[in-house]
Structure 1
């Protein structure tokens, strides 16, 4: 899965360095979801997934960025977000995607929950190389 940004539009890049950044990211994803005419339910799913991934980027990755924008593939329109950090990375991505597994004090539903909320989900991570998570929610 790739996230080709819609022709003529560049993704917006937002820092994820402090808790207040999470509010700005949620607002930006909500605005894009409305612009793409996602249903209210799909808007909420995309914002929730983005919020959780931004929080993970901050807490587990030590901060990073999110690039977000509209995408178009084969006539389908959607909203994409790419979360990137230079943190410690994950030694076992499959384990990290297991419901209930956590590397901290959380419930262990963040990554797997985000995956269930969006249409396309890709996670790339390796120890010492950080983590990149790409999500897309398509308009119906």
Structure 2
């Protein structure tokens, strides 16, 4: 059974994908590459400096979690449009062990690594839309959007 974040800001708007790219995350170097690529795309889309920083911080948190817990995963970025809005959608997908307490993670009450457990919750606060699906058999997929 999959668990889905119950959030008012979940991904519910259809968007047109203008361009996209993928980075496989298997090492610390890949985390750095994902951060750099997200920064470059966000700057090309002309996000403010503050929003570029928010996006890169979210990418850093989610790719680090992917590497730490699943060891291998994919970050896909998409430049998107929905009506008059434009932005960036990022999808983080892994086949790791899944998250057994999504609600606890979203309340920053759960950590498997002994850390503070605020990476996912913090990323949710930095983005405009957030969705998480996780199952023990299929891993975790987190989708975030930031609108310009």
Q: Provide the TM-score with structure 1 as the length reference.
A: 0.92
Given candidates 12, 36, 40, the residue that maps to 2:21 is 12
Deviation at 1:5?
4.8
Tell whether 2:120 aligns with 1:115: no
Runs of at least 5 residues in structure 2 that lack an aligned partner in the other structure: 1-10
Secondary structure at 2:39 match in 1: helix
Matched residues, number? 137
Residues 66, 75 of structure 1: alpha-carbon distance in 2 compared, 3 angstrom cutoff: same
Tell me which moved more, 98-107 or 69-78. 98-107
Given candidates 60, 63, 67, the residue that maps to 2:72 is 63
Residues 53, 5 of structure 1: alpha-carbon distance in 2 compared, 3 angstrom cutoff: farther
Secondary structure at 1:60 match in 2: helix
Tell whether 2:40 aligns with 1:31: yes
List structure 1 runs of 4+ shifted beyond 4 angstroms: none
Given candidates 51, 55, 62, the residue that maps to 1:46 is 55
Runs of at least 5 residues in structure 1 that lack an aligned partner in the other structure: none
Q: Provide the TM-score with structure 2 as the length reference.
A: 0.87
Task: Using CA pairs under 8 Å that are at least 6 residues apart, name the structure with larger relative contact order, 1 or 2.
Answer: 2
Q: Whose strand proportion is higher, 1 or 2?
A: 2
Take 2:146 and 2:42, find their aligned partners in 1: how far apart are those partners?
9
Alignment of 1:75-86 (within 5 A): 75-86=84-95
Cα root mean square deviation, aligned: 1.4
Take 2:16 and 2:101, find their aligned partners in 1: how far apart are those partners?
30
